[in-house]
Amino acid sequence: MQPILVNPCSYKSLETVLDTIVAKTEKQWVAIGCDGLPFSLCSKMIENYFICPHCNESFTKKVQFINHINQENLDIEIENCKKYKNILLIPGMGHIDINNTKALFKLRG
């Protein structure tokens, strides 16, 4: 796969990256490794981006999606509507080192 040349430090650019990866892979699950801010943003996106199976409308906040399904009287499983439900984020060594360092400084006082 060709590199996706965007700055991965915003939700919009990471959405472009994730959409491209998902579209180009034919696997049921996709493992993606990343560090730092992209890891944090992608984690939030995986939890909070939804697509309504009834009208195909996209939502970037869980509360908005819940309000939508309540207004439309839809009986659907919320977890099955996550846009990136088949992505497994794997933190890189840099992310693990950063979190270990933060923990040590917090313990130190």
pLDDT tens digits for range 44-74: 999 999 999 999 999 999 999 999 999 999 9
Q: Is residue 45 part of a domain?
A: yes
Gap between the Cα atoms of 53 and 63, Å rounded: 17
Q: Is the pLDDT of residue 97 over 80?
A: no
Q: Is residue 89 part of a domain?
A: yes
Q: Is residue 1 part of a domain?
A: no
Q: Is residue 4 part of a domain?
A: no
Residue 8: exposure state from Cβ atoms within 10 A (0-12, 13-18, ≥19):
middle
Q: What's the mean pLDDT when you consider all of the chain? A: 88
- Report the share of the chain in percent with pLDDT over 90: 55
Q: Is residue 97 part of a domain?
A: yes
Q: Is residue 78 part of a domain?
A: yes
Q: Are 58 and 69 in contact (CB under 8 A)?
A: no
Q: Is residue 3 part of a domain?
A: no
Number of structural domains (the chain) is: 1
Q: DSSP 3-state assignment of 98?
A: helix
Instruction: Give one word for 22, left, alpha or beta, with left for phi > 0 and alpha for psi -120 to 50.
Output: alpha
pLDDT at 109: 63
Q: Domain of 44?
A: 11-102
